[in-house]
Chains A and B, each alone.
Chain A
């Protein structure tokens, strides 16, 4: 059997504790980013236990996208208010920014905590949350002018407010090659020693103490320490979700809108509020996993090819400005059915940012067709 990892003398838990102790030795300011998911819960617990041991306070940072499970909010409250309240500086950001809404072609950008819509917000703002940007709006960084001030811009500008600060993130390398690359691409030097589980970020550092943990290590830690965890995982497990799909995040962006399909079953009250809050929710709930619409796996019957369907979508797209960005990108792609199907998916999800990149390859069906031409 081929080993997938090389095992050392220490276990991942002891190693993570040593890493966190190292961070406490090296940094005065420590921030732990949390999402309410299992990984960040474990990371926050490990960091807070170390803070408690040393009698120090650390910041727990949560960027509230509004359109999240109620259970996510319960988890954030649990981490900020119950795990080790005396050692926590809560940094709960509830401010407006642009979030991709993959469920609607007429409301392509969702603005969490949008002023004037407070009557339909999913819930009131938290009393101790940060409600306004901590930085100068006039000089803030905006990566994509088409999108405007977006999700990742909040992080970038937030981190610019700090110097020589450690940002701990619960990223695990085994989740995907992309995540592994994020952890290992630019090793940092901290206190004169190379740290391969950290990356420098301007004046600060991002550190990934759980980078070598596996899925089962996380659950073992949660069980052994009696930690509370996101209940949605239980529901997903019982419904037979594959491990890689058992995740909790925002409910409407292009990588997570499928969560809407089971939302009425998992959290009916959240679904009910979301119907009033954002456009396209009911359609995505009904068709989020259907082959003919959002997944773009089966061609609608009035089209004979994906290329024809793509051209139709481009011609009738309600947001022609965003559509032009995509059409320009498609012009550089191969012209075959395999690529055209993925282009249709981008158009349906309005993924002008290219977050679900097109695999620009020759059509794999071609091999089968060539094979059948030969043998039949």
Chain B
């Protein structure tokens, strides 16, 4: 069974109920470091360790027919021939009891969902692409749709920034050589940072207002790195759940990093600073299209 978008307490309850109904004697929880799922008496396995021999052979011996395998936020690859995917597949061949918990149904394309589908169907349909009919016929998918939303906050840039952007753009294209062309947007996206820092400073409440809004938590921002040197800015690796919502200074290039951000912080709606530079526009529009793809997948999975 696949559960999308459930809370931690709900997941724990689902596991407990499943164990009681199916007389499960042993539970193995596989989860990335960042997404632990506490289950009483369970064997906790790090996702990064599933490919290690020391884990692989131990689990192959330990997993029996009455073992439940819980895969928690394990959609880390889009490749259905990936080594970690294959190792998990081997564990799942030893038991029919499997629960898959994931926040979002895909990393980028909806075919990514088929990784989760393969796990609960013992890879019988490994060569098939996403098909709502096939999924409905072969697996039970419980969906709690996350109301993803991106709101743009337009940031005007200075003439100096725009000139710098044009110069850097020309330099990057001219010196690309054999480099990966995807480095172009990554590098150009960073150029609006200084103007965004000024925007953040201007957005801070003035001294007189502080007392009035003393109960409100301070605004928090997330960026790719700490180059802006601001106390209110943190990186995607260091975000924390709870508190005020984060405003994104930049969106990550890889969608899996954005999925991690959403899943870890629980923040479905995010404001994004969008400078009036073409790279910023491109990143924002790309993220909006990604969001639309996720909604389409949710629609397809609805009964």
Residue of B nearest to A340 (CB): B178
Choose from B83, B85, B178, B181 the contact partner of A368 (Cβ within 8 Å): B181
Are A376 and B134 in contact, CB atoms less than 8 angstroms apart? no
Residue of A nearest to B278 (CB): A376
Q: Within residues 1 to 54 of chain A, which ones have a CB less than 8 A from any CB in chain B?
A: 1, 4
The stretch from B36-44, B111-119, B182-190, B256-264 touching chain A is B182-190
C-alpha spacing A368/B169, complex, angstroms: 15
Q: Assuming the A-B contacts A304-B178, A376-B188, are A240 and B87 also in contact, with contact meaning beta carbons closer than 8 angstroms in the complex? A: yes
A233 to chain B, nearest CB (A): 14
Q: Assuming the A-B contacts A1-B128, A1-B131, are A375 and B278 also in contact, with contact meaning beta carbons closer than 8 angstroms in the complex? A: yes
Are B51 and A299 in contact, CB atoms less than 8 angstroms apart? no
Q: Within residues 339 to 376 of chain A, which ones have a CB less than 8 A from any CB in chain B?
A: 365, 368-369, 372-373, 375-376
Which residues of A lie under 8 Å from residue B127 when comparing CB positions?
4
Q: Assuming the A-B contacts A240-B83, A376-B169, A376-B278, are A369 and B51 also in contact, with contact meaning beta carbons closer than 8 angstroms in the complex? A: no
Are A305 and B184 in contact, CB atoms less than 8 angstroms apart? no
C-alpha spacing A338/B284, complex, angstroms: 31
Which residues of B lie under 8 Å from residue A239 when comparing CB positions?
83
For residue B177, CB closer than 8 A to chain A, the reply is yes
Q: Render B76-115 as a binary contact track against A, CB cut-off 8 A, 1 for contact.
A: 0000011111110010000000000000000000000000
Residues of chain A at interface, number, CB under 8 A? 21
C-alpha spacing A238/B54, complex, angstroms: 12
A142 to chain B, nearest CB (A): 40
Q: Within residues 117 to 155 of chain B, which ones have a CB less than 8 A from any CB in chain A?
A: 127-128, 131, 134
Are A373 and B173 in contact, CB atoms less than 8 angstroms apart? yes
Residue of B nearest to A309 (CB): B178
For residue B176, CB closer than 8 A to chain A, the reply is yes
Residue of A nearest to B131 (CB): A1
Q: Within residues 19 to 71 of chain B, which ones have a CB less than 8 A from any CB in chain A?
A: 51, 56
Which residues of B lie under 8 Å from residue A305 when comparing CB positions?
177-178
Residues of chain B at interface, number, CB under 8 A? 27
B58 to chain A, nearest CB (A): 13
C-alpha spacing A308/B91, complex, angstroms: 48
For residue B279, CB closer than 8 A to chain A, the reply is yes
Are B178 and A369 in contact, CB atoms less than 8 angstroms apart? no
B86 to chain A, nearest CB (A): 4
For residue A242, CB closer than 8 A to chain B, the reply is yes
Which residues of B lie under 8 Å from residue A372 when comparing CB positions?
173, 181, 184-185
Are A376 and B178 in contact, CB atoms less than 8 angstroms apart? no
Between B81, B131, B173, B181, the greatest number of chain A beta carbons within 10 A of the residue's beta carbon is seen for B181
Which residues of A lie under 8 Å from residue B85 when comparing CB positions?
240
Which residues of A lie under 8 Å from residue B81 when comparing CB positions?
240, 242-243
C-alpha spacing A299/B177, complex, angstroms: 10
Between A242, A372, A375, the greatest number of chain B beta carbons within 10 A of the residue's beta carbon is seen for A372
Are B134 and A1 in contact, CB atoms less than 8 angstroms apart? yes
Residue of B nearest to A368 (CB): B181
A310 to chain B, nearest CB (A): 12
Q: Assuming the A-B contacts A238-B56, A372-B185, A376-B184, are A304 and B177 also in contact, with contact meaning beta carbons closer than 8 angstroms in the complex? A: yes
Are A240 and B82 in contact, CB atoms less than 8 angstroms apart? yes
Which residues of B lie under 8 Å from residue A237 when comparing CB positions?
90
Which residues of A lie under 8 Å from residue B184 when comparing CB positions?
369, 372, 376
Choose from B128, B131, B176 the contact partner of A369 (Cβ within 8 Å): B176
Residue of A nearest to B177 (CB): A304
Q: Render A320-339 as a binary contact track against B, CB cut-off 8 A, 1 for contact.
A: 00000000000000000100
C-alpha spacing A242/B83, complex, angstroms: 8
Which residues of A lie under 8 Å from residue B128 when comparing CB positions?
1
Q: Render A229-266 as a binary contact track against B, CB cut-off 8 A, 1 for contact.
A: 00000000111101100000000000000000000000
Which residues of B lie under 8 Å from residue A208 when comparing CB positions?
none
B residues contacting A by CB (< 8 A) are: 51, 56, 81-87, 90, 127-128, 131, 134, 169, 173, 176-178, 181-182, 184-185, 188, 278-279, 282
A residues contacting B by CB (< 8 A) are: 1, 4, 237-240, 242-243, 299, 303-306, 337, 365, 368-369, 372-373, 375-376
24 contacts between A and B (CB under 8 A): A1-B131, A1-B134, A240-B51, A240-B82, A240-B85, A240-B86, A242-B81, A303-B178, A304-B178, A305-B177, A305-B178, A337-B178, A368-B181, A368-B182, A369-B176, A369-B181, A369-B184, A372-B181, A375-B282, A376-B184, A376-B185, A376-B188, A376-B279, A376-B282
Q: Besides the contacts A240-B87, A243-B81, A373-B173, what 12 more A-B pairs have beta carbons closer than 8 Å? A: A1-B128, A1-B131, A237-B90, A238-B90, A239-B83, A303-B178, A305-B177, A337-B178, A368-B182, A369-B173, A372-B173, A376-B185
Question: What are the 3 closest A-B residue pairs judged by CB atoms, nearest first?
Answer: A240-B83, A240-B86, A242-B81
